Amino acid sequence: MRQIPANGLLFDCEEGGAGQPVVLLHGFPESAASWRHVTPRLHEAGYATLVPNQRGYSPGARPEGVESYAVERLTEDVLALAEAWGAPRFHLVGHDWGAAVAWHVAAHHPDRVATLTALSVPHLSAYARAIAEDDDQRQRSEYVNLFRTPGKAEHVLLGKTGRPHEIMYGGIKDPAMVAEHARVVTQPGALTAALSWYRAIDFPAFVGLPAVTVPTTYLWSDQDPALGRTGAERCADYVTGDYEYVELTGANHWLPENEPAAVADAILRRVRQVPLPALAGGE
């Protein structure tokens, strides 16, 4: 794992491959390890990958204060990391909270993002609209209120033992990935920092996120307990670029960990449509 300074912080990053640059963003409460079954398939196809442990998850990128975890700061991190990596323009992939950040990056910085592949979380305006109008999605999103409650969320997720409750990683098939995710989020201050992403949410800003103009693929799984069909099907309303919707039947929320072949195939279909210069100095 390489440490990359960016945006005044120091990020632990996994990188590999050679070729066109692809940045992959993990979700909550995961880590860069979530993409370890996906990236080898991208490397074999001729792509270079950068996978950071994002703000709060890297010890050197764990500032204090909820305001430090606003989506604007997370967006700045992605752009700065890609620049430091030598990729002024790049393909962007995100899952869960990583997808939320990726939507924000692509919507506001289409000059930097060649293509977008988002997993689980739809365009943030579609998600906000679903919460406002759909009883099913409101029920699915009730956990957000817990995560936004300082102290209580940490107690529920870690308890007195300091070990992750099974609800954090239930459904991930690879024990090694679970162990690495748990190692990252149980570092001192890491879980509170990761939960600060929720505590910094500005819901009106979600509603007002502009449409994404870059070529985009969105993957949704029909057994995802947190994200319902309403937001998934409305996602297309907020993408004006070329758009592909991929529904994975029988899959749960943990798509990078559990469905790497389907995820990699979708990423490759998307990125091959917009060639970029190869990253200089790849493996």
Q: What is the pLDDT of residue 192?
A: 96
For 11, phi then psi, to 5°, come to: -105, 135
Whether 246 shows a pLDDT value over 60: the answer reads yes
Whether 136 shows a pLDDT value over 80: the answer reads yes
For the chain, which residues make up each domain, given as ranges? 2-271
Q: What is the pLDDT of residue 164?
A: 78
Report the CATH fold assignment for 2-271: Rossmann fold (3.40.50)
Q: 240 falls in which pLDDT band (50, 70, 90)? A: very high
Q: 163 falls in which pLDDT band (50, 70, 90)? A: confident
CA distance 68 to 45: 37
Whether 283 shows a pLDDT value over 80: the answer reads no
Q: 178 falls in which pLDDT band (50, 70, 90)? A: very high
Q: 272 falls in which pLDDT band (50, 70, 90)? A: very high
- Whether 181 is catalytic: no
Bridge partner list, 13: 2, 52
Whether 281 shows a pLDDT value over 70: the answer reads no
Q: Do 105 and 114 form a contact (C-beta atoms < 8 A)?
A: no
Question: 58-90: per-residue pLDDT in tens?
Answer: 999 999 999 999 999 999 999 999 999 999 999
- The average pLDDT across 52-63 equals 98
Q: 113 falls in which pLDDT band (50, 70, 90)? A: very high
Checking DSSP bridges between strand 113-119 and strand 9-16, what pairing results, if any?
A: unpaired
- Whether 155 is catalytic: no
Name the pTM for this structure: 0.96
H helix runs in the chain, sequence order? 39-44, 71-85, 97-108, 124-133, 135-140, 143-147, 152-158, 175-185, 190-199, 203-207, 229-234, 255-258, 260-271
Q: What is the pLDDT of residue 34?
A: 98
CA distance 181 to 175: 10
- The average pLDDT across 185-210 equals 91
- The average pLDDT across 155-160 equals 84
Whether 282 shows a pLDDT value over 80: the answer reads no
Tell me the average pLDDT of the chain. Answer: 95
DSSP 106: H
Q: What is the pLDDT of residue 166?
A: 76
Checking DSSP bridges between strand 216-221 and strand 243-248, what pairing results, if any?
A: parallel
User: What 3-state DSSP class applies to 49?
Assistant: strand
DSSP 13: E
When mean pLDDT is compared across 106-115, 153-162, 237-246, 270-279, the lowest value belongs to: 153-162
Catalytic-labelled residue, pool 12, 26, 91, 96: 96
Q: 162 falls in which pLDDT band (50, 70, 90)? A: confident
